């Protein structure tokens, strides 16, 4: 018997698949299409187990759909621009391009050693001029549509990376990459007007039933829609042209409880309030101090709320009360109006602020069914619901109802307007770094900002650039890059030296895959019309906000520009869990990684894939286990031996059951058929409907156990070899998406002919699933006394008769009278005796 030599088998089939273009895209007429996409990796150098997991999941889906007769698009590429290449280059003195391309070569080899069914002809790399030409072209489509603009902005600046970060890349005030504290810096930056799409991005989440709720919730929170009112508080003594302050509040129900007003120190009215103020020096010192604090420091719950009184007062529009105006660190300039009405009794931040500065408090909401609040005794704000008090005509209203009524009144009296606000900010896309797609804009003294004409694309990124971080783009050191002619007047122009955020590159790669080689278009209409949407997108939940939001935004923009016909790019989304080691995420920094390459060398790719698919449902975290890997490996050996045990007998035997008469089969044979069909059904549903790959694999394991039982129990001369052959064929077919190489080999051993992936996914016969016999429990007065094997579907009367005539029951009821017999067909008989 042949040994399971996985190394040799895996190499053999990988070569065969490549030589025969097995996974070259087929677009056959009459077949439905299926676009299976896994998030493309950043080419950091080596595959990690997280990659192995996501790409194994995708491959099961792609191979399954291929066997089901779909035209499958299953592409792979590289998210290849970005900072790590520059950092590595600085460290090791290799050009970012060389570093990136050699990493790509290595990771491509590693992916190929996993035997994933990619069509490598469609590979894309975002750092290739053939790709970024179109990233630039798309930038210009947005630019021409008024969706890309430049403005001076207070931006998040990471002093260590020496670059600007998008809001989304700042995590708790720290740089997502290097954990340095992020600072603010005012710089000219490019933005995409994603806020124009805020409401659609929010609404259309409803069109995505195939997305996990948690991801939709995260996007919803990130968009952060809130409904409130902008209310005007007139300044008691107008100064420097400022006669009122406008606050944004979502809690207009508390307006009678306002006891002070706060402005962000950056608020545009502050200058007028401060200049010439008797306390100007104190105020300016305070402003300077706040500006040096990071946004996180200013807003964190445990940060000391600090402020200063400006000496000015404004007037509450509903009560007419005089309200002191403060500046404070906890109000941000770029949310709402940058001005907040302080309601210390009902907002915790305000409570802390008022306590510190001895500002009065006023309760305007009383909880129901609890003792009344008393300002003197409160030690925190009351933020729950209740009835309005001290609120004039609104007294007695439930505060949630008062929201509308008070908004109405403010609007009626011209003192306020309802406003919808979003937390979402415009997407800052410029980076003062080298390794990215140059922004295709030229500045001309005469013509101003000029788009690079299409025929001049791509704006090539020069090689060998000095890119030590300086805060300016390294491209500013290359006159041969930035000196250029103005495309409009031919005069002296200067090229934009900033490059694009790499999230721009990854916002459209799924479209490029549809037409990866076209030199003249980003993508061809007919190709994207055919392939889009992505039917199944698979990737890490860490992309729940950024990448997925940006890709949705791009798709909507392209839809509006009539470049694509879909409004959402990803029909179904699966976010796979992490791979853990000892309970914490496998990561280089923790030093708890297991190298995929070593595992594959030691056990083979099929084992690695099978383990990872078996160890947990895809959305859950998965605990790495060497024993689990060995278990998966032993299982493949077991399958190997089983097929080989029959290889001689089944040679030449026609192995198909279709049409055979189930009722003519004896018990063991019938059960073998049932298990084989049941396994196919289970696999079809587990893969196709639920992505329960782990339970799918356990069903296969049970089937293998059953086949061994049959082999060992039924005397050799009585074994039904055509049935065995049929069962083995089904086994290999359903295991093939999980462990592709060994199944391709075993398919040959069975004599299946052409590649296992050219075979249709097996069907199952509902009739075969029906058990011939079922076990029925016999109870006497509710106690289980006996178990019977009876024909499936035996009716109540027959069941009762059968139970009553068994010896054991006869003995137990002897001398008693049967009061009642309850029967549940296929389940139980309960005999009640006295
Ligand atoms: C009065 C009030 C009373 C508020 C109360 C809350 C509770 P969302 O829901 O996130 O939109 N706010 C408005 N602009 C702000 C800014 N620039 N910096 C800091 N805080 C700001 O939050 C809206 C609420 O956040 C607003 O409602 C305002 O405080 C505060 F019992 O107004 B509220
Ligand atoms: Zn010009």
Instruction: Assign residue 396 a region (left: φ > 0; alpha: ψ between -120 and 50; beta: otherwise).
Output: left
Q: Which of 223, 251, 378 to mutate to test the pocket of ligand 1 (most atoms within 8 A of CB)?
A: 251
CB neighbour class for 413 (10 Å; exposed up to 12, middle 13-18, buried from 19): exposed
- Tokens describing residue 231: 């209310």
CA–CA dist 375, 372 (Å, integer): 10
Residue ID of nearest Cα to ligand 1 atom 26? 249
Quote the crossing angle between the two packed helices 626-650 and 605-614, to the nearest 10°. 120
- CA 383 – ligand 1 centroid, Å: 12
CA-closest residue to ligand 1 atom 12: 340
**Full DSSP string of 289-333:** HHHTS-HHHHH-TTSPP-EEEEEEEEE-TTT--EEEEEEETTS-T
The angle formed by the CA atoms of residues 42, 45 and 46, to the nearest 5 degrees, is: 95
> How many other C-beta atoms lie within 10 A of the C-beta of residue 248?
19
| Closest-approaching ligand to the CA atom of 422 | 1
Enumerate residue ranges in the chain where pLDDT < 50. none
Atom of ligand 1 nearest to the CA of 345: 31
Closest by Cα among 742, 744, 739, 709 to 724: 709
Which pLDDT score is estimated for 83?
87
Token pair for 125? 């790399």
Contacts of 446 (CB under 8 A, 6+ apart): 486, 488, 489, 491
Name 201's Cβ contacts closer than 8 Å, sequence gap at least 6. 194, 219, 223, 424, 549, 552, 553, 556
Instruction: Tell me how far the alpha carbon of residue 307 is from its chain's centroid.
Output: 40
Ligand 1, atom nearest to 343 Cα: 3
Specify the residue for token string 């650039």.
465
pLDDT at 654: 77
Q: What is the dihedral of CA 429, 432, 433, 434, to 10 degrees?
A: 100
Q: From the CA of 188, how far away is ligand 1's center (Å)?
A: 29
In the reported structure, the alpha carbon of residue 450 is separated from the centroid of ligand 2 by a whole-number distance in angstroms of 8
Ligand 1 center to 244 CA (angstroms) = 18
- Quick one: tokens of 654? 């026609």
DSSP string, 69-136: T-EEE---EE---SHHHHHHHHHH---HHHHHHHHHHHHHHHHHHTT----GGG-EETTSHHHHHHHH
Nearest alpha-carbon partner for 560 in 143, 142, 249, 225: 142
Nearest-5° Cα angle at 485, 479 to 491: 120
Residue closest via CA to ligand 1's atom 5 equals: 347
Residue the block writes with tokens 């055979």 = 660
> Can you count the helices (H) and strands (E) in the chain?
27, 34
Name, in order, each residue with C-beta under 8 angstroms of 608's C-beta and a sequence gap of 6 or more.
52, 56, 114, 596, 599, 600, 629
Q: What is the pLDDT of residue 767?
A: 87
Mutation probe of ligand 1 site: the residue of 259, 339, 347 with most atoms within 8 A of C-beta: 347
Question: Which of 51, 144, 200 minimizes the C-alpha distance to 553?
Answer: 200
Task: Note the helical H segments in 778-826.
Answer: 796-805, 807-813
Can you tell me the ipTM of this complex? 0.91
383 CA closest ligand 1 atom index? 31
Q: Phi and psi at residue 304, in whole multiples of 5°?
A: -60, 125
Q: State yes or no: 415 annotated in a binding site.
A: no
Gap between the Cα atoms of 285 and 279, Å rounded: 10
pTM above 0.90, yes or no: no
- Three-state secondary-structure class, residue 777: strand
Q: What is the pLDDT of residues 622-667, one digit of tens each?
A: 999 999 999 999 999 999 999 999 999 998 887 665 556 777 888 8
Instruction: Find the ligand nearest to 254 CA.
Output: 1
Helix (H, G, I), strand (E, B) or coil at 663: helix
Residue nearest to atom 11 of ligand 1 (CA): 226
Q: How many CA atoms lie within 13 A of 463 on its CB side?
A: 9
* Alpha carbon nearest to ligand 1 atom 27, residue: 249
User: What is the DSSP annotation of 698-713?
Assistant: HHHHHHHHHHHHHHHH
- Pair 259, 363: CB distance under 8 Å: no
Q: What is the pLDDT of residue 469?
A: 64
Task: Determine the atom of ligand 1 nearest the C-alpha atom of 331.
Answer: 18
**448 alpha carbon – ligand 2 mean position (Å):** 7
Query: Which ligand sits closest to the CA of 445?
Result: 2
Give the C-alpha separation, 627 to 615, whole Å.
11
State the number of CA atoms in the 13 A half-sphere of 353 facing the CB.
30
The C-alpha R_g of the chain, in whole angstroms, comes to 35
**Atom 33 of ligand 1 has which residue's CA nearest to it?**
249
Q: What is the DSSP string of 400-418?
A: HHHHHHHHHHHHHTTSEEE
Q: Look at residue 622 in the predicted model and tell me its pLDDT.
A: 95
Distance CA 225, CA 578 (A): 30
CA of 141 to the centre of ligand 2 (A): 20
Query: Residue 54's pLDDT is what?
Result: 97
Find the 340 Cα to ligand 1 centroid distance in Å: 6
- Sign of the C-alpha dihedral, residues 652, 657, 663, 666? positive
Mutate-to-test residue for ligand 1 from 260, 301, 335, highest number of ligand atoms within 8 A of CB = 335
Task: Please identify, by atom number, the ligand 1 atom nearest to the C-alpha of residue 255.
Answer: 1
- What ranges in 625-666 are assigned the alpha helix state H? 626-650
Could you give the CA distance from residue 187 to residue 250 in angstroms, rounded to a whole number?
32
Span 142-181, pLDDT tens digits: 999 999 999 988 778 888 888 777 776 788 778 888 888 8
Place of tokens 């879909």: 566
Determine if residue 491 is left, alpha or beta; phi over 0 gives left, psi from -120 to 50 gives alpha, anything else beta. beta
Four-CA torsion 34, 38, 39, 44, nearest 10 degrees: -140
CA of 494 to the centre of ligand 2 (A): 10
Nearest to 64 by CA among 482, 782, 685: 685
As for ligand 1, residues whose beta carbon falls within 6 Å of it are 226, 248-251, 254, 264, 331-332, 335-336, 338, 340-341, 343, 346-347, 421
Ligand that comes closest to the CA of residue 337: 1
């Amino acid at each position: 018997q042949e040994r399971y030599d996985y190394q040799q088998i895996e190499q053999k089939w990988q070569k065969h698949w490549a030589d025969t273009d097995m996974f070259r895209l087929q677009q056959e007429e009459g077949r439905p299409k299926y676009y299976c996409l896994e998030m493309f990796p950043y080419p950091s150098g080596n595959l990690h187990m997280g990659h192995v997991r996501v790409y194994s999941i995708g491959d099961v889906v792609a191979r399954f759909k291929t066997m089901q007769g779909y035209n499958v698009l299953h592409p792979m590429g590289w998210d290849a621009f970005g900072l790590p290449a520059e950092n590595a280059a600085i460290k090791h003195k290799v050009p970012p391009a060389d570093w990136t391309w050699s990493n790509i070569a290595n990771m491509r080899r590693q992916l190929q050693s996993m035997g994933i069914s990619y069509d490598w002809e469609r590979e894309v790399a975002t750092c290739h001029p053939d790709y970024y030409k179109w990233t630039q072209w798309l930038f210009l489509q947005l630019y021409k549509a008024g969706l890309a603009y430049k403005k001076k902005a207070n931006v998040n600046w990471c002093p260590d990376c020496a670059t600007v970060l998008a809001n989304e890349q700042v995590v708790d005030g720290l740089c997502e990459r290097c954990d340095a504290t992020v600072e603010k810096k005012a710089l000219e930056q490019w933005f995409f007007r994603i806020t124009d799409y805020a409401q659609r991005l929010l609404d259309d989440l409803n069109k995505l039933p195939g997305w996990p709720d948690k991801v939709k919730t995260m996007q919803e929170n990130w968009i952060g829609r809130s409904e409130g009112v902008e209310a005007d508080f007139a300044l008691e003594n107008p100064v420097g042209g400022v006669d009122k302050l406008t606050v944004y509040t979502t809690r207009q129900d508390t307006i009678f409880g306002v006891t002070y007003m706060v402005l962000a120190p950056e608020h545009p009215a502050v200058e007028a309030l401060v200049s010439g103020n008797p306390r100007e020096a104190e105020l300016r010192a305070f402003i300077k101090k706040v500006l040096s604090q990071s946004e996180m420091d200013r807003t964190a719950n445990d940060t000391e709320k600090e402020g200063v009184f400006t000496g000015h007062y404004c007037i509450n529009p509903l009560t007419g009360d005089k309200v002191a105006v403060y500046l404070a660190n906890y109000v941000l300039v770029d949310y709402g109006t940058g001005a907040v009405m302080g309601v210390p009794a009902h907002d915790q931040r305000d409570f802390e602020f008022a306590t510190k500065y001895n500002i009065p408090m006023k309760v305007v909401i009383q909880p129901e069914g609890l003792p009344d609040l008393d300002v003197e005794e409160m030690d925190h704000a009351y933020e729950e619901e209740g009835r309005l008090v001290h609120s004039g005509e609104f007294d007695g209203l439930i505060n949630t109802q008062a929201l509308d009524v008070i908004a109405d009144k403010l609007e009626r009296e011209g003192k306020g307007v309802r406003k919808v606000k979003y937390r979402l900010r415009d997407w800052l896309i410029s980076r003062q770094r080298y390794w990215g797609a140059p922004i295709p804009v030229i500045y001309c003294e005469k013509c101003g900002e000029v788009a690079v004409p299409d025929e001049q694309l791509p704006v090539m990124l020069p090689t060998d650039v000095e890119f030590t971080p300086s805060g300016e783009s390294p491209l500013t050191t290359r006159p041969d890059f930035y000196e250029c002619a103005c495309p409009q007047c031919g005069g002296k122009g200067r090229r934009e030296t900033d490059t694009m955020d790499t999230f721009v590159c990854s916002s459209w790669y799924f479209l490029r895959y549809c037409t990866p080689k076209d030199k003249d278009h980003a993508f061809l209409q007919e190709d994207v019309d055919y392939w889009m949407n992505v039917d199944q997108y698979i990737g890490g939940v860490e992309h729940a906000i950024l990448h997925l939001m940006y890709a949705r935004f791009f798709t909507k923009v392209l839809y509006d520009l009539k470049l694509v016909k879909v409004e959402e790019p990803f029909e179904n989304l699966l976010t796979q869990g992490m791979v853990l080691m000892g309970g914490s995420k496998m990561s280089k920094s923790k030093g708890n990684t297991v190298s995929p390459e070593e595992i594959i060398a030691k056990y083979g790719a099929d084992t690695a894939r099978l383990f990872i698919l078996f160890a947990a449902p895809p959305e859950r975290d998965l605990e790495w286990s060497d024993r689990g890997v060995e278990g998966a490996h032993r299982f493949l050996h077991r399958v190997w031996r089983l097929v080989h045990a029959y290889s001689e007998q089944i040679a030449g035997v026609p192995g198909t059951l279709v049409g055979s008469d189930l009722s003519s089969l004896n018990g063991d044979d019938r059960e073998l058929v049932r298990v084989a069909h049941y396994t196919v059904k289970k696999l079809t549903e587990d893969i196709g409907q639920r992505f329960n790959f782990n339970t799918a694999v356990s069903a296969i394991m049970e089937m293998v156990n059953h086949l061994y039982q049959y082999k060992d129990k039924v005397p050799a001369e009585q074994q039904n070899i055509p049935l065995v052959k049929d069962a083995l064929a089904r086994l290999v077919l359903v295991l093939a998406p999980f462990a592709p190489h060994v199944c391709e080999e075993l398919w040959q051993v069975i004599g299946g002919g052409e590649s296992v992936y050219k075979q249709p996914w097996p069907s199952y016969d509902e009739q075969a699933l029906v058990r011939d016999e079922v076990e029925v429990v016999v109870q006497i007065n509710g106690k289980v006394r006996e178990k019977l094997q009876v024909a499936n579907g035996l009716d109540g009367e027959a069941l009762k008769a059968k139970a009553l005539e068994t010896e054991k029951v006869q003995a137990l009821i002897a001398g008693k009278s049967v009061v009642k017999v309850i029967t549940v067909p296929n389940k139980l008989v309960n005999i009640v005796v006295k």
